[in-house]
Amino acid sequence: MKKSLIFLFLIFFLYGCANHKKQEAPLRVGLVFDVGGRGDKSFNDSAYRGLERARREFSIYYEYIEPGEGADRESALRLLATRDFELILGIGFMFSSDITTIAGEFPDRMFACVDYAVREDVPIPPNLAALKFKEEEGAFLIGALAGMMTKTDKVGFVGGMDIPLINKFEAGYRFGVKKVNPRARVLVGYAGVTGEAFKNPAKGKELAYSQYGQGADIIFHASGSTGLGVFEAAREKDRWAIGVDADQYREAPRNILTSMVKRVDLAVYQTIKDVLENNFKGGITAFGLKNDGVGYVSARFLEREIKNIEERLESLKSRVSTLSLNAPEKSTLATEIRSMEKELGLLKEERETMKKRLPVEVINRVENMKRKVIAGEIVIPRI
């Protein structure tokens, strides 16, 4: 095993032990992050939110690993499989081959892979859940929104790695732009052809500068932490950018028009919930507009987020009120309440901004197209 992996293992082991008492947990979950790891403000962080939600609601025990290169992914999955983890998740399509092999070697464990790359010649093991997303559906709505909001009839797309998965974002985005604005031109650039393309903010900034220089006034990125460079260019050029995977508004509050939401957090949370309820199934599970697996950020979206936090806050405060003055967990809960109250305040501020940023008539039209996609009246090309 590589020394780097041993070091990372020590980090995640200590973190996991501090996070929750192992012996009390109803389920032990191991997770391996994709390229970029935690802190990408996007794909990986969304997976972590799903893990944390499951911890809060179900008191699961988890540990995670942030791998380096490809060999580390295989080693990390194998390490978790040889220990006492009942569910092991790989976050990202690059895990597909390794997790398929290891799931076959450990039939008594359950596995799940976000963005699993299905191959016709390789069957999916019965103990492996392939978590797929209809990215083209969410990107279509983002494209339609951009096509209506552009003032120059030029918009941009910055992709990370030039692969079919990211091509789906591009295809949906192009289709949405052209659906509402046939005159508009879509400028496209990719950061590279390896996994490094998802963690290269300098390249993202370079591509964005080029597209803004050609007249684009809105750029949508699907590039992991490379997109942080797109946001930097948007700030410097005072243009619009569109986030991906999670609500990325706080990365550039004055310049994020909206974000396409890819609910990796929902996929992770739902998989854990299915295991706990004995509903886990191998094979493909798809997340799209119909089951809120993809979407976009608007004031309406934020209203739902605010309501969810308010409900959690009320529950926590009620719980604290039943504890004795010196109860050990009272301090921890108080800290969590303060954190949630801060988050609630920030979301309410963002909601008011989004009300002004995205006109009602634009949102209504996008929502109408969303209904047509769900009904099958609009069919979006995948590539």
Question: Quick one: pLDDT at residue 69?
Answer: 56
Question: Quick one: pLDDT at residue 5?
Answer: 46
Question: Quick one: pLDDT at residue 110?
Answer: 98
Q: In this structure, are 90 and 123 located in the same domain?
A: yes
Question: Quick one: pLDDT at residue 39?
Answer: 81
Q: In this structure, are 98 and 170 located in the same domain?
A: no
* pLDDT, tens digit (0-9, with 9 covering 90-100), for 362-379: 999 999 999 999 999 999
Q: Which residue would you say has higher pLDDT here, 338 or 328? A: 338
Amino acid in position 139: A
- Listed in sequence order, the residues at least 6 apart from 211 whose beta carbon sits closer than 8 Å to its beta carbon are 156, 158, 187, 189, 219
Q: Is residue 109 part of a domain?
A: yes
Question: Quick one: pLDDT at residue 7?
Answer: 41
Domain that holds residue 331: 299-347
Amino acid in position 338: R
Q: In this structure, are 91 and 143 located in the same domain?
A: no
Q: In this structure, are 245 and 275 located in the same domain?
A: no
Question: Quick one: pLDDT at residue 21?
Answer: 53
Q: Is residue 357 part of a domain?
A: no
Rounded-to-integer distance, Cα 170 and Cα 159, Å: 8
Rounded-to-integer distance, Cα 92 and Cα 261, Å: 16
pLDDT confidence of 120, banded at 50, 70, 90? confident
Q: In this structure, are 114 and 161 located in the same domain?
A: no
Q: In this structure, are 171 and 198 located in the same domain?
A: yes
Query: Could you tell me which residues are beta bridge partners of residue 91?
Result: 114
Q: What is the CATH number of the domain that holds 193?
A: 3.40.50.2300
Q: Is residue 107 part of a domain?
A: yes
Q: In this structure, are 16 and 129 located in the same domain?
A: yes
Q: Is residue 359 part of a domain?
A: no
Q: In this structure, are 11 and 126 located in the same domain?
A: yes
Q: Are strands 87-91 and 28-32 parallel, antiparallel or unpaired?
A: parallel
Q: In this structure, are 172 and 270 located in the same domain?
A: no
Q: Is residue 34 part of a domain?
A: yes
* pLDDT, tens digit (0-9, with 9 covering 90-100), for 204-249: 999 999 999 999 999 999 999 999 999 999 999 999 999 999 999 9
- Listed in sequence order, the residues at least 6 apart from 237 whose beta carbon sits closer than 8 Å to its beta carbon are 209, 212
Q: In this structure, are 128 and 19 located in the same domain?
A: yes
3-class state of residue 152 by DSSP? coil
- Give the chain's domain count: 3
Question: Quick one: pLDDT at residue 71?
Answer: 57
Q: In this structure, are 147 and 186 located in the same domain?
A: yes
* pLDDT, tens digit (0-9, with 9 covering 90-100), for 86-117: 999 999 999 999 999 999 999 999 999 999 99
Measured on CA atoms in the order 121, 95, 191, 232, is the torsion positive or negative?
Answer: positive
For residue 246 the two structure tokens come to 């999670």
Measured on CA atoms in the order 142, 145, 151, 152, is the torsion positive or negative?
Answer: positive
C-alpha 254: how far from its chain's center?
Answer: 22
Question: Quick one: pLDDT at residue 211?
Answer: 98
Rounded-to-integer distance, Cα 337 and Cα 317, Å: 8
Q: Answer whether 282's CB lies under 8 Å from 124's CB.
A: yes
Q: Which of 1-15, 19-33, 113-127 has the lowest mean pLDDT?
A: 1-15
Estimate the crossing angle of helix 264-276 against helix 43-58, to 10 degrees. Answer: 30
pLDDT confidence of 70, banded at 50, 70, 90? low
Query: Could you tell me which residues are beta bridge partners of residue 119?
Result: 122
With a cut of 60, say whether residue 293 has pLDDT above it. Answer: yes
Q: Is residue 259 part of a domain?
A: no
Q: Is residue 185 part of a domain?
A: yes
With a cut of 90, say whether residue 192 has pLDDT above it. Answer: yes
Q: In this structure, are 238 and 312 located in the same domain?
A: no
3-class state of residue 379 by DSSP? coil
